[in-house]
Chain A
């Protein structure tokens, strides 16, 4: 549905050229929900805005539904208003001089395809029903709460039933509880309509829960494209491992058949980078097993340095061989600070990254 190939964008500043996108390749299938995830300045918003036509790339090609919409080499540029898209902005961009009905009806009345009055009213009613704002048609835009503005923005983006829905951090201005509610609802709505969605966020929880596929970006490049569970279980490199979820990192060295680190020489049944030399070992806190009683033959002995009780879970800092490991245990564990405990690190849970 969307095909991005070799997309590049740069800005010339007095201090030299800044590359915002260094060659993005991404294909999004019909009805797929694809999330662009990354820290600020990684190029995710620039990519989205290129798809919208609000930003013009300097190289590469962009295809929407089989039609090339942007290609600097072929001198093709389809302006934003001619692309079959809907977009939700971070600030919602609800037009303050119109009421809810006028905002949602605007794309139908002044947009690509124009409709008769009755059809417009019917489509607006259906869009508002979809976002559960029935009956708010006459409310002035300036009298809406943040959550309601968010829903109006959604209704306006979907009212033309576009092939592609673009969302630029749409939930980041909502407070935490509302954000989680909207996240669930957003998934339901896009599923129900079956629209191809490109979604930008810097919030990994949002990315993991929403996306059919997550695309992790950094420094204008894509580091990994994979379904959420794979991104979490098998990060493609050190940056993805650091950015998505929590991980323990330990420096190590590749030796013959094993990896030497502060925890000893480990033989791991996991892929190891082909390059020899220094590596980083990583393991998630929930895979670090801490037990006060029976240790197996593989266990190491550690001391509990701190305990951070979170209710449903407890985060323990365990010192083993001079290395501090973070372990995530059920909240009701009775292991206390200062005591000795056995630490088990399942070999298949380790991930090894090149430096």
Chain B
């Protein structure tokens, strides 16, 4: 998730003195400046140039003029804002009650619901979107087909092809992230703050309104800003639902400018659109950081960690459970069941006796012929290279930030957090431009390496947040006790520090590996025929209208993710627990 830690501020008096430290840390900072700065510079550069990447020519404002004199642009901006606001609304409507139900009440099956929320993150957004289209598309959607047969309706019963439909799917997909961010805020809230109100003679409702809500308000506002910032940049839902419905948002415009279905790519226009998105992203990120810091003032160190009394739901238990199930159905069960059903049939049809007679595993049997070996190999490369590179960089950065007293360690921490504010689609387009315009210096365009680089830059923000946290937990005195015992620096690192941080780092490694596995936006924007990965193959199949194959590959994609995470949870569950 996205918790900003002021790791640099937490340990002002660090005293690691290693010869050449300054040089090493300087080199690390320079590397990070290049990794994060170069794609951003490219966005600015391409917005100021016309023609193909690498053609040079004078800098011009022609792209901006072209974009912002076009009334269509303002329609797109309005769509983007509507879509983003709607998304935030949908997410909060589900996430806030869920947090309250799971963190403060005696709702049954809390543990299971918690696990299923995590599972939801592993179902890629584009697969969930596709599954919902298969249900609610006005023409082919199963629900609408069924409604036509049953009631003889002329018009579709429900359609997703509009901004509320897009916001609904995107909002449902954001709920787990919002839930985990808000749950953290609830956990750090001292239950005595509520109890002090009760003992003051204040009713439960008044306590909720005057104490709980104002105290968690900074956290809710932080989540809203974070979601809004992410929603203006997402690409999967706007592409899958928006394109066919002719509802364009900024991210879709940026993508089509660089990957047009016909004609030549226009990086200049993409840059001009991207500049707005980048500016909005950075401003929102600034507010987000401010809100998170403001919220921290409200966290109180509790005395004894008394287990807060759970609110007894009584007869409201079942409606509460129904609400959680309704959400989980929309997020996990329904999309997955639709994909499974469709993957077993030669073509999309309602579950009738006739359809059941045609059920077979044919689509699975032939999937390898359609896909080939390359996407699997490429995906495997991503799943190992990206988390490894990210975690190595994160450990080094966190070590400098947490364990040294170099003057620029704070800036290094901010720099590592910056990719969080850069929309993935912009990062990818910037890198693509870099690879095309300067291919002699940066010969990676069209290879799997450029996707790996894009992923690594993006997840350094997440990686360093975890490694900062892990390193702060390892108290300096544990290291010093090792040195006092006569162990060398290398022995202390290998025998004391590494075993202590290993579990935390391993968990992040797995998580980043899974994020890289399901990522599609950057892989598409940087994609050519040579660097296909499984997620982009599903996307292509969908573009070709191979619905059963999409479903079969989607089911395989989800099952593999469940297998990996479930297996590791069983095998390494204790390793992770021990960390906390």
Chain A positions within 8 Å of B, measured between CB atoms, are: 45, 52-55, 79-83, 85-87, 89-97, 106-107, 110-113, 142, 153, 156-157, 160, 166, 169, 172-173
User: Which B residues touch A87, using CB under 8 A?
Assistant: 195-196, 199
Across-interface contacts of A79 in B (CB, < 8 A): 198, 204
If A97-B214, A169-B303 touch, whether A106 touches B200 (CB-CB below 8 Å) is yes
**Chain A at the B interface: mostly helix, strand, loop or mixed?**
loop
Q: Across the two chains, which residue of chain A brings its CB closest to B217?
A: A97
**B186 to A: closest C-beta gap in Å:** 15
Chain B residue at minimum C-beta to C-beta distance from A114:
B201
CA–CA, A109 and B189, complex, Å: 23
Give the CA-CA distance A173 to B190 in the complex, in Å.
Answer: 15
Q: Let me know if B541 is at the binding interface, CB within 8 A.
A: no
With contact pairs A89-B303, A91-B303 given, residues A111 and B196 touching in the complex (Cβ less than 8 Å): no
Question: Is B373 on the interface with A (CB-CB < 8 A)?
Answer: no
Q: Which of B199, B206, B304 is most buried by chain A, counting CB atoms within 10 A of its CB? A: B199
Output the least CB separation between B298 and chain A (Å).
4
B199 — which chain A residues lie within 8 A by C-beta? 52, 54, 80-81, 83, 85-87, 157, 166
The reply to whether A90 and B303 contact each other, CB–CB distance below 8 Å, is yes
Q: Is the pair A53, B306 in contact by a Cβ cutoff of 8 Å? A: no
Residues 36-80 of chain B: 1 if any A CB is under 8 Å from the residue's CB, otherwise 0?
A: 000000000000000000000000000000000000000000000
- Cα–Cα, bound, A111→B200 (Å): 6
A315 to chain B, nearest CB (A): 30
- Inter-chain CA distance A79–B203, complex, in Å, is 9
Please tell me which one of the listed residues B193, B198, B302 contacts residue A95 in the complex, with CB atoms under 8 A apart: B193
* Complex contact A156–B196 (CB within 8 A): yes
Chain B positions within 8 Å of A, measured between CB atoms, are 190, 192-193, 195-204, 206, 210-211, 214-215, 217, 297-298, 300-304, 306, 309
With a cutoff of 8 Å between Cβ atoms, the chain A residues found around residue B303 in the complex are 89-91, 169, 172-173
Q: How far is the CA of A172 from the CA of B304 in the complex (A)?
A: 10
* Given A54-B195, A96-B215, residue A91 in contact with residue B300 (CB < 8 A): yes
Given contacts A80-B195, A95-B193, A97-B214, contact A107 B202 (CB under 8 A): yes
- Cα separation A53 to B304 with both chains bound (whole Å): 19
Are the C-beta atoms of A81 and B196 separated by less than 8 Å? no
Q: Which residues in B have their C-beta under 8 angstroms from that of A86?
A: 199-200
Not counting A45-B306, A83-B199, a sample of 20 additional A-B residue pairs whose C-beta atoms are within 8 angstroms of each other reads A52-B195, A54-B199, A54-B309, A79-B204, A80-B195, A80-B199, A81-B197, A81-B202, A87-B196, A90-B303, A91-B300, A95-B197, A96-B298, A96-B300, A97-B214, A106-B202, A110-B201, A156-B196, A169-B304, A172-B303
The one of B198, B203, B204, B304 in contact with A54, judged by C-beta atoms closer than 8 angstroms, is B198
Q: Are A107 and B201 in contact (CB under 8 A)?
A: yes
Chain B residues near A82 (CB-CB < 8 A): 201
Closest 6 CB pairs of A and B: A90-B303, A111-B201, A112-B201, A107-B200, A93-B192, A80-B198
Expressed in whole angstroms, the minimum distance between the Cβ of A171 and any Cβ of chain B is 11
Q: Provide the residues of chain A in CB contact with B210, threshold 8 Å.
A: 106, 110
Max chain A Cβ within 10 angstroms of own Cβ: one of B202, B214, B301: B202
Residues in A whose Cβ lies below 8 Å from that of B204: 79, 81
A residues within 8 A CB of B190?
A: 91, 93
Partner pick for B197 among A91, A97, A106, A113, CB 8 A cutoff: A106
